[in-house]
Amino acid sequence: MDTAFIIEKLVLISIVFGISLLTAMYSTLFERKIAGFFQDRLGPNRAGPFGILQPLADGVKLFMKEEIVPTNANKFLFVIGPSMAMLTACMSSALIPWGQNLEIFGRTVSLQATDVNIGILYIFGVVSLGVYGIMIGGWASNNKFALLGAIRAASQNISYEIAMGLSIIALLMVTGTLSVGEIAAQQHGMSWNIFYQPLGFLIFLVCAFAECNRTPFDLPECEAELVGGFHTEFSSMKLGFYLFSEYINMFVSSAVMATLYFGGYNFPGMDALAEMGTSQNVITLIGVAAMFAKTFFFIFFFMWVRWTIPRFRYDQLMKLGWNILIPLAIANIVVTGIVIVLKG
Amino acid sequence: MESLTKRKKVVEQGAMNFWERMYLPAIVQGMGITFSHLFKKKVTIAFPEVKRDFAQNYRGLHQLKRDEEGRERCTACGLCALSCPAEAITMTAAERKKGEEHLYREEKYAAVYEIDMLRCIFCGFCEEACPKEAIYLDSGEFVVANYERPNFIYGKDKLLQPYEKRGTTNGARL
């Protein structure tokens, strides 16, 4: 392991980290803009041209707010909660392959921070840890509404993780590998997994919404019933971390969906460009752009759904998870298995 | 009972069929509707830069009118103050001196004329009561927000119609 390798990985990790934070930051503005447009309004447009300084203003405002820790709250866990949410949100982006290899100074640089051969398992592990941030924060607040929100978050995430895992199993049967990098590479030449696993993708999509606590499954922070849900008692940047981690989660799950089902960095016409003699680096960069375009489309999709579908009732949410999505996912596995055997 | 408009639509509330229970077609339809709103005309009026037009008979901030020669019409008779249901108007009368004929139309005028904008309900009774056609709520302005209560008492400096030289514009309306 030479120094260049460490530097290369450090730079890559910093860039990925910076990009995910930046994307999350501007997702907050984008969300409000989109919300405005969907409701025939203009959205925030006062801070800078088109409101592009709005996230900065929001950040400064959150930092300036008084930091309140409730008297009977567990101080240690109260701090751990939002930190945990933020940490787990940032961790999973290390596995996303943002592009093919780049040739810089005679070195081949992989645009995936690390290609673990159990990549998907790692992502699932980290994502399911995310609920601990919410649970710990909600429990430590010593507030019944926060606790109710935390319980909802926990049971919701556990329920939907099963369906999500089952939908991924069908995908793994098709791809035959757990490595995210390999799955992305296999989808070269428009053989995107969405064409082989449309139902699996649909289940994965619904579960991703539930895992990110996004509308229509945002019951953990259901304002109408639970004041603010699990973050009722949080103020200042601790609240900011919770809200921010939600947007990072959204970014990461968009990237995961783009990688697993929509070809990742592959784009139509990739081989044609190579035959025309375009250098590999240019193709890689276009691939990175394609990857980000797909990711941003899914972020837009998250927001689009948020401003279209009203929130589920809690029993409907559980019914959808256990009675519909899990049987569907199992049926998907069976059908996929039969097709694989028949095709030999 | 027969409806008046015949536009009434009875909603069927029978059991949903499989297609409806799938829920997805309805979601796709709804998302189509929201997406079409992205391109619709925005209803927002960006207020400080763009102002909504007032209706012709909108009662906004009061204006003390001048006559054709730019003289104040008000004679401090006090009828507006008397008619004011909110008791928002106060005034002090003064006698016109020699040489002030170009300033005040009649021999008596209002030296001080104040309206408390926190009391005023913009009912327009003062303009109906005025025998001299001296006060109208047609300036086309709002009473703007302020931090201090005393600043809401508008004197002649804010209420008086701006003086314009004869011929340049139609100085006094009416």
ipTM score here?
0.75
How large is the average pLDDT for residues B72-87?
91
Report the alpha-carbon distance of residue A225 to residue A203 in Å, rounded: 28
More confident residue, A230 or A329: A329
Q: What is the pLDDT of residues A139-162, one digit of tens each?
A: 888 888 888 888 888 888 888 888
Question: Which of B116, B142, B173, B119 has the alpha carbon at shortest distance from B60?
Answer: B142
Question: Which of A93, A140, A142, A134 has the alpha carbon at shortest distance from A295?
Answer: A93
How large is the average pLDDT for residues B152-168?
77
- At B114 the pLDDT is 92
Question: Which of A96, A74, A68 has the alpha carbon at shortest distance from A179?
Answer: A96
Judged by a CB distance cut-off of 8 A, whether residue B169 touches chain A is no
Minimal Cα–Cα distance from B30 to chain A, Å? Answer: 6
Minimal Cα–Cα distance from B40 to chain A, Å? Answer: 7
Judged by a CB distance cut-off of 8 A, whether residue B31 touches chain A is yes
- At B167 the pLDDT is 46
- At A196 the pLDDT is 83
Q: What is the pLDDT of residues A18-38, one digit of tens each?
A: 888 888 888 889 888 888 888
**Residue A294: what are its φ and ψ, rounded to 5°?**
-65, -45
Report the residue of B18, B31, B49 to disrupt the A interface, i.e. the one with the largest count of A CBs within 10 Å: B31
Instruction: Find the range with the poorest average confidence among A173-187, A325-339, B1-15, B19-33.
Output: B1-15
Reduce the secondary structure of chain A to three states and give it as a string. Answer: CCHHHHHHHHHHHHHHHHHHHHHHHHHHHHHHHHHHHHCCCCCCCCCCHHHCCHHHHHHHHHHHCCCCCCCCCCHHHHHHHHHHHHHHHHHHHHHCCCCCEEEECCEEEECCCCCCCCHHHHHHHHHHHHHHHHHHHHHHCCCHHHHHHHHHHHHHHHHHHHHHHHHHHHHHHHHCCCCHHHHHHHCCCCCCHHHHCHHHHHHHHHHHHHHCCCCCCCHHHCHHHHCCHHHCCCCHHHHHHHHHHHHHHHHHHHHHHHHHHCCCCCCCCHHHHHHCCCCHHHHHHHHHHHHHHHHHHHHHHHHHHHCCCCCCCHHHHHHHHHHHHHHHHHHHHHHHHHHHHHHC
How large is the average pLDDT for residues A97-112?
76
pLDDT band at residue A1 under the 50/70/90 scheme:
low
Task: Find which of A127-136, B16-25, B81-90 is predicted with most confidence, using mean pLDDT.
Answer: B81-90
Q: What is the pLDDT of residues A189-241, one digit of tens each?
A: 778 888 888 888 999 999 888 888 887 888 777 777 777 778 888 888 888 88
List CB contacts (< 8 A) between A40 and chain B: 37, 40-44
Q: Which residue has the tokens 């709250």?
A: A73
- At B142 the pLDDT is 82
pLDDT band at residue A49 under the 50/70/90 scheme:
confident
Is the preceding peptide bond at A216 cis, omega within 30 degrees of 0? yes
Nearest to B42 among A40, A304, A308 (CB): A40
- At A330 the pLDDT is 92
Report the alpha-carbon distance of residue A266 to residue A252 in Å, rounded: 18
Q: What is the pLDDT of residues A278-292, one digit of tens each?
A: 777 888 888 888 888
- At A71 the pLDDT is 84
* Record: contact A304-B34, CB cut-off 8 A: yes
Mean pLDDT over each residue of chain A, to the nearest integer: 85
**Residue B66: what are its φ and ψ, rounded to 5°?**
-110, 160
Q: What is the pLDDT of residues A109-142, one digit of tens each?
A: 777 777 778 888 888 888 888 888 888 888 888 8
Q: Which two tokens stand for residue A130?
A: 């995310």
* Record: contact B46-A308, CB cut-off 8 A: no
DSSP annotation of B150 reads: G
Please determine, for residue B158, whether its predicted confidence score (pLDDT) is greater than 90: no
List CB contacts (< 8 A) between B33 and chain A: 308
Chain A and chain B share a number of CB contacts under 8 A equal to 33
Write the burial class of residue A242 (CB in 10 Å: 0-12 exposed, 13-18 middle, 19+ buried): buried
Report the alpha-carbon distance of residue A251 to residue A295 in Å, rounded: 7
Percent of chain A topping pLDDT 70: 100
B66, B139 Cβ separation under 8 angstroms: no
- At B172 the pLDDT is 45
pLDDT band at residue B89 under the 50/70/90 scheme:
very high
pLDDT band at residue B115 under the 50/70/90 scheme:
very high
Q: Please tell me which residue of chain A has the smallest CA distance to B26.
A: A309
Judged by a CB distance cut-off of 8 A, whether residue B18 touches chain A is no
- At B164 the pLDDT is 66
- At B90 the pLDDT is 92
Mean pLDDT over each residue of chain B, to the nearest integer: 85
B66, B163 Cβ separation under 8 angstroms: yes
Q: Which residue has the tokens 């079409």?
A: B36
List CB contacts (< 8 A) between A38 and chain B: 34, 37-38
pLDDT band at residue B173 under the 50/70/90 scheme:
very low
Write the burial class of residue A303 (CB in 10 Å: 0-12 exposed, 13-18 middle, 19+ buried): buried
**Residue A327: what are its φ and ψ, rounded to 5°?**
-60, -40
Tell me the residue length of chain A: 344
- At A155 the pLDDT is 87
- At B118 the pLDDT is 92
Q: Give the 3-state secondary structure of residue B78.
A: coil
Judged by a CB distance cut-off of 8 A, whether residue B21 touches chain A is no
